[in-house]
Amino acid sequence: MRRLTQALCLAGLIGILAFYWRDPFDSGRLAGARVLLTGASGGIGEEMAYHYSSLHAELVITARKEAALQKVMEKCLELGARKVLYIPADMSLPQDPERVMQFAVQELGGLDYVVLNHIGETPYRMWEGDVDHMRWLMQVNFLSYVALASATLPALAKSKGSLLVVSSLTGKIPTPYTTSYSATKFALEGFFGSLRHELIMRGVDVSITLCILGLVDTKSAMEKIKGVVLSMPVASANEAALTIIKGGVSRAREIYYPWWVKPLCHLKDWFPDQQDWVLRSFYNYSRA
């Protein structure tokens, strides 16, 4: 009887673990889905474009570099996308978010997913008082996100769709050498967190998923931190892209990638001094 009880307890534990570790992602839900994806010419955005394509979605991709977009579009079609179009756009220009939205809705006939992923180039160094760059970066990394979300909400409300906002660990925890970038990501947290409340209160069935990413092995990120970051876990851009897509399908409130980002975010309120010391230990001060 004792062995039977132990076996039942073990089976129960395995069942509980299997329940929490299961992957509920239903890839079939993306077949034919209409997706607007920004920042798609490289890095995580490019990887997302390929994942969506292999799952047979319809895509409008956008970024500044037209030649790079064309190459991504060609590969998307090879991977199985039902439809792919691109539109070059510069998100530092206030009129471009509306132009991109109109193009996407017209060409796809509506929107099911809007993925806001683009970022402006910013130096990886200590704050030197460049307020003009801060204004420009806020336009690209924050205000254009607000403009795109506002412009696409009617289409998403009609389809009961999802808005995915790609953010960063630096939007939860201030880190060295990212002063301007961190400010823009904190702004995303405030705006889209408030917007989520308002949509629910108004009965608008549009989900907002905030995507909190750690250091990812994109070419631009690796070049920036060279010689400055001494040791920090680096995660896969391909896996980050898939995690974001899964979060949108499941209509998650937030997703974290890689796994250690979530506990680190929670620890900031419990052990702030210790966390700050650990963060600073990752960096080479002399190379900043």
Residue-level pLDDT at 208: 98
Give the domain ranges of the chain: 27-287
Measured between alpha carbons, how far is 93 from 19 in angstroms, rounded to an integer?
A: 47
Tokens 């534990």 found at = 13
Look at residue 231 in the predicted model and tell me its pLDDT.
67
Q: Is 181 assigned a catalytic role?
A: yes
User: What confidence tens digit (pLDDT) does each residue in 32-90 have?
Assistant: 999 999 999 999 999 999 999 999 999 999 999 999 999 999 999 999 999 999 999 99
Reported pTM: 0.88
- Give the DSSP H/E element, type plus range, for residue 38: strand 34-38
Read off the DSSP letter of residue 64: S
Rounded distance, CA 269 to CA 262, Å?
Answer: 13
Residue 249 confidence (pLDDT): 97
* Catalytic, out of 50, 145, 181, 256: 181
Distance of alpha carbon 255 from alpha carbon 210, whole angstroms: 6
Are 36 and 115 within 8 A, CB to CB?
A: yes
Give me the CATH topology for the region 27-287.
Rossmann fold (3.40.50)
pLDDT under 70: residue ranges of the chain? 1-24, 227, 229-231, 275, 278, 285-288
Q: For the residues of 236-275, what is the DSSP string, one character each?
A: -HHHHHHHHHHHHHTT-SEEEESTTHHHHHHHTTT-HHHH
Angle at 43 between CA 165 and CA 67, to 5 degrees: 110
> What pLDDT digit, counting tens, does each position of 123-142 carry?
888 899 999 999 999 999 99
Of 156, 158, 170, whose CA–CA distance to 209 is shortest?
A: 156
Beta bridge partners, 180, equal none
pLDDT (0 to 100) of residue 12: 47
At residue 276, the pLDDT reads 76
Q: Measured between alpha carbons, how far is 36 from 113 in angstroms, rounded to an integer?
A: 6
